[in-house]
Amino acid sequence: MPTNVQPNAAAAFGAFIRERRLSLKLTAREVASNADLQPSNLCNLEHGLILPSQEPNRLKSLAEALRFKRGTGESNDFFDKAAKATGSIPVDIADIISENEAMPIMLRSIGNRRLKKADIARIVALVRGK
Protein backbone atom coordinates (compact mmCIF):
# COMPACT_ATOMS: atom_id res chain seq x y z
CA MET A 1 0.00 0.00 0.00
CA PRO A 2 1.46 3.42 -0.90
CA THR A 3 2.46 5.50 2.13
CA ASN A 4 0.03 8.31 1.32
CA VAL A 5 -3.01 6.00 1.57
CA GLN A 6 -4.58 5.84 5.04
CA PRO A 7 -6.29 2.59 6.01
CA ASN A 8 -9.97 2.91 6.86
CA ALA A 9 -11.02 3.00 10.49
CA ALA A 10 -12.21 -0.63 10.62
CA ALA A 11 -8.90 -1.82 9.18
CA ALA A 12 -6.98 0.42 11.60
CA PHE A 13 -8.90 -1.06 14.54
CA GLY A 14 -8.28 -4.57 13.22
CA ALA A 15 -4.56 -3.96 12.84
CA PHE A 16 -4.46 -2.48 16.35
CA ILE A 17 -6.05 -5.53 17.98
CA ARG A 18 -4.01 -7.98 15.89
CA GLU A 19 -0.79 -6.21 16.88
CA ARG A 20 -1.86 -6.35 20.52
CA ARG A 21 -2.73 -10.05 20.30
CA LEU A 22 0.60 -10.88 18.67
CA SER A 23 2.55 -8.79 21.20
CA LEU A 24 0.93 -10.86 23.96
CA LYS A 25 1.80 -14.05 22.06
CA LEU A 26 -1.84 -15.12 22.10
CA THR A 27 -3.48 -17.16 19.38
CA ALA A 28 -6.61 -15.93 17.68
CA ARG A 29 -8.45 -18.93 19.15
CA GLU A 30 -7.37 -17.98 22.69
CA VAL A 31 -8.53 -14.40 22.34
CA ALA A 32 -11.75 -15.40 20.59
CA SER A 33 -12.54 -17.96 23.29
CA ASN A 34 -11.82 -15.49 26.11
CA ALA A 35 -13.94 -12.82 24.41
CA ASP A 36 -16.77 -15.24 23.62
CA LEU A 37 -16.32 -14.71 19.88
CA GLN A 38 -16.14 -17.13 17.00
CA PRO A 39 -12.50 -17.37 15.81
CA SER A 40 -13.65 -16.52 12.28
CA ASN A 41 -15.26 -13.32 13.57
CA LEU A 42 -12.04 -12.31 15.33
CA CYS A 43 -10.13 -12.97 12.11
CA ASN A 44 -12.61 -10.87 10.12
CA LEU A 45 -12.37 -8.15 12.75
CA GLU A 46 -8.57 -8.15 12.59
CA HIS A 47 -8.71 -7.79 8.81
CA GLY A 48 -11.25 -4.95 8.92
CA LEU A 49 -13.90 -7.05 7.19
CA ILE A 50 -16.45 -6.55 9.96
CA LEU A 51 -17.01 -3.66 12.31
CA PRO A 52 -16.33 -3.91 16.03
CA SER A 53 -19.34 -4.37 18.24
CA GLN A 54 -20.53 -1.28 20.03
CA GLU A 55 -22.51 -3.40 22.47
CA PRO A 56 -20.66 -2.48 25.67
CA ASN A 57 -20.28 -5.93 27.20
CA ARG A 58 -18.99 -7.50 23.98
CA LEU A 59 -16.42 -4.78 23.41
CA LYS A 60 -15.33 -4.83 27.07
CA SER A 61 -14.97 -8.60 26.85
CA LEU A 62 -12.65 -8.24 23.86
CA ALA A 63 -10.65 -5.56 25.69
CA GLU A 64 -10.27 -7.91 28.67
CA ALA A 65 -9.26 -10.81 26.41
CA LEU A 66 -6.55 -8.54 24.99
CA ARG A 67 -5.51 -7.62 28.55
CA PHE A 68 -6.12 -3.91 28.30
CA LYS A 69 -6.23 -2.30 31.74
CA ARG A 70 -9.17 0.04 32.13
CA GLY A 71 -8.28 3.73 32.08
CA THR A 72 -4.86 3.32 30.46
CA GLY A 73 -3.84 5.03 27.25
CA GLU A 74 -3.90 1.72 25.38
CA SER A 75 -7.38 0.94 26.69
CA ASN A 76 -8.57 4.40 25.66
CA ASP A 77 -7.07 3.86 22.19
CA PHE A 78 -8.91 0.54 21.93
CA PHE A 79 -12.31 2.08 22.69
CA ASP A 80 -11.61 5.20 20.58
CA LYS A 81 -10.57 3.18 17.52
CA ALA A 82 -13.59 0.88 17.88
CA ALA A 83 -15.90 3.90 18.06
CA LYS A 84 -14.26 5.60 15.10
CA ALA A 85 -14.76 2.45 13.02
CA THR A 86 -18.49 2.54 13.73
CA GLY A 87 -19.02 6.30 13.94
CA SER A 88 -20.20 6.09 17.52
CA ILE A 89 -19.28 7.29 21.00
CA PRO A 90 -16.66 5.14 22.74
CA VAL A 91 -18.42 2.75 25.11
CA ASP A 92 -16.22 3.74 28.05
CA ILE A 93 -17.23 7.39 27.50
CA ALA A 94 -20.89 6.39 27.22
CA ASP A 95 -20.54 4.69 30.61
CA ILE A 96 -19.15 7.88 32.13
CA ILE A 97 -21.94 9.96 30.64
CA SER A 98 -24.66 7.60 31.82
CA GLU A 99 -23.24 7.41 35.36
CA ASN A 100 -23.29 11.18 35.94
CA GLU A 101 -26.44 13.19 35.30
CA ALA A 102 -24.43 16.43 34.93
CA MET A 103 -22.39 15.11 31.97
CA PRO A 104 -25.14 15.40 29.32
CA ILE A 105 -25.89 18.93 30.52
CA MET A 106 -22.22 19.88 30.30
CA LEU A 107 -21.77 18.35 26.85
CA ARG A 108 -24.91 20.01 25.49
CA SER A 109 -23.74 23.34 26.89
CA ILE A 110 -20.39 22.94 25.17
CA GLY A 111 -22.10 21.92 21.91
CA ASN A 112 -24.69 24.71 22.03
CA ARG A 113 -22.02 27.34 22.56
CA ARG A 114 -20.13 26.08 19.49
CA LEU A 115 -16.83 26.37 21.31
CA LYS A 116 -13.65 26.72 19.31
CA LYS A 117 -10.87 24.16 19.61
CA ALA A 118 -8.84 26.58 21.72
CA ASP A 119 -11.75 26.97 24.17
CA ILE A 120 -12.12 23.21 24.48
CA ALA A 121 -8.35 22.85 24.94
CA ARG A 122 -8.55 25.31 27.86
CA ILE A 123 -11.38 23.31 29.44
CA VAL A 124 -9.38 20.08 29.05
CA ALA A 125 -6.33 21.72 30.61
CA LEU A 126 -8.47 22.92 33.51
CA VAL A 127 -9.90 19.43 34.07
CA ARG A 128 -6.41 17.94 33.95
CA GLY A 129 -5.24 20.51 36.50
CA LYS A 130 -2.77 22.23 34.19
5 band by pLDDT with thresholds 50, 70 and 90: very low
Q: Which pLDDT value is given to residue 124?
A: 85
Q: Which pLDDT value is given to residue 1?
A: 36
Q: Which pLDDT value is given to residue 7?
A: 54
112 band by pLDDT with thresholds 50, 70 and 90: confident
Give the range among 15-19, 64-68, 90-94 with minimum mean pLDDT.
90-94
How much helix, strand and coil, in percent to the nearest 5, is found in the chain?
Answer: 65, 0, 35
Name the more confident of 98 and 5.
98
Reply yes or no on whether the pLDDT at 96 is more than 80: yes
69-85 pLDDT per residue, tens: 988 999 999 999 999 99
Q: Interior CA angle at 25 toward 23 and 27, to 5°? A: 120
Neighbours of 15 (CB within 10 A): 15
Domains present along the chain, CATH in parentheses: 9-98 (1.10.260.40), 100-130 (no CATH)
For residue 3, what is the DSSP state?
T
